[in-house]
Amino acid sequence: DVVMTQTPVSLSVSLGGQVSISCRSSQSLVHNNGNTYLSWYLQKPGQSPQLLIYKVSNRFSGISDRFSGSGSGTDFTLKISRVEPDDLGVYYCGQGTQYPLTFGSGTKLEIK
Amino acid sequence: QVQLEESGPGLMQPSETLSLTCTVSGFSLTSNGVGWVRQPLGKGLVWMGTIWAGGSTNYNSAVQSRLSISRDTSKSQVFLKMNSLQPEDTGTYYCARHVGQLGDWGQGVMVTVSS
C-alpha cells in the first residue's frame, strides 16, 4: 500500500497568517494515464471531510483561492493563506492513484 | 445539488453482518462511482471500497473477504454489507461520490460493535 506521510502533526497560526502542510508518498503518484491523483481534505470539528484540492492543484467547487496545492511525484504541499477562523480542523492528504486509496494521518490546524 | 445520506443501525453485536445504505441525489449512479470510507473514533480515514459507474467494484484488501458493495440505480442507493463484525470495525462510515477523487461526502453514520 502507498503510505502517505503528513507533516507537521499539528500547527498553530494567527488569523490572517499563512501555513503550509507537507505530504509525502512512499511511491510516485503519477498514474499510467498521466494524472496525479493527490487530494487534500479538511475535516472541521464534528463534520464529515470535505474535498479542497484534487489532482494536486485543482480547487474543488466552491473552495476559496486561499487554498492552493502544489507538488509532483512523491512530494506535495497545501498552502493556506489569510487564515480564517473557519479553517480550523484536521487536514488530510489522500492518494487515488493506486489501490487501496490511502490517506495521511492528518494535520490539526489550530488558530492562535 | 449533490447530496449523499448514509443510514443503518447504530449498534451491532460481534460476528453480525452490517448493512448500510447510501442514498444519493443530484447525480446518477450510472455516471459516477460511490466509495465508502471508515473513520474510527478520533482516528484517520480508511477507504473500504468503491462501486463504479459501470457497476464494477474495488475493495481494500484489508476487508475484502468480509465486504460487499452493491447498488440499486433505480432507487439511487448504494449498499455496504460487511460480515463477521469485530469491535475494531467501530467507527463512522461515510459514503462519497468517487470520480477520480472523493468529492462530495455524506454526513456519516456511527456504528458501534459491542457485546
**Distance between terminal CA atoms of chain A?**
36
The Cα–Cα gap between A64 and B59 comes to 33
Please name the residues in contact with B14: beta carbons below 8 A apart, sequence gap of 6 or more. B85, B86, B87, B113, B114, B115
Residues of chain A above pLDDT 90, percent: 98
Q: By C-alpha distance, which of A79, A71, A80, A81 is closest to A37?
A: A71
Q: By C-alpha distance, which of A52, A47, A60 is closest to A89?
A: A47
pLDDT digits (tens), chain B, 115 positions: 999 999 999 999 999 999 999 999 999 999 999 999 999 999 999 999 999 999 999 999 999 999 999 999 999 999 999 999 999 999 999 999 998 899 999 999 999 999 9
H helices present in chain A, as ranges: none
B42 near A CB under 8 A: no
Q: From the candidates B102, B104, B110, which should be mutated to test the interface with A, based on the most A CB atoms within 10 A?
A: B102
- Chain A interface residues (partner B, CB cutoff 8 A): 35, 37, 39, 41, 47-51, 54-55, 60, 92, 94, 96, 99-106
Q: What is the pLDDT of residue B22?
A: 98
pLDDT at residue A93 tops 90: yes
Residue with cell 490517506: A103
Cell of B113: 460493535
Please name the residues in contact with B79: beta carbons below 8 A apart, sequence gap of 6 or more. B19, B20, B21, B22, B69, B70, B71, B72
Is the CB of B101 less than 8 angstroms away from the CB of A94? yes
Q: What is the dihedral of CA B48, B53, B57, B60, to 10 degrees?
A: -20
Is the CB of B94 less than 8 angstroms away from the CB of A48? yes
Instruction: Give the β-pairing of B11-12 and B109-113.
Output: parallel
The Cα–Cα gap between B22 and B96 comes to 9
Q: What confidence category does residue A12 fall into, taking pLDDT thresholds of 50, 70 and 90?
A: very high
Question: B75 vs chain A: nearest CA distance in angstroms?
Answer: 24
pLDDT digits 0-9 by tens, A40-91: 999 999 999 999 999 999 999 999 999 999 999 999 999 999 999 999 999 9
pLDDT at residue A98 tops 90: yes
Q: What is the pLDDT of residue B100?
A: 84
Tally C-beta pairs within 8 A across A and B.
57
For residue B108, list chain A residues with Cβ-Cβ distance below 8 A: 48
Q: What is the pLDDT of residue A15?
A: 96
The Cα–Cα gap between A23 and B33 comes to 26
| Beta partners for residue B18, in sequence order | B82
Cell of B4: 449523499
User: A102 with A37: CB under 8 angstroms?
Assistant: no
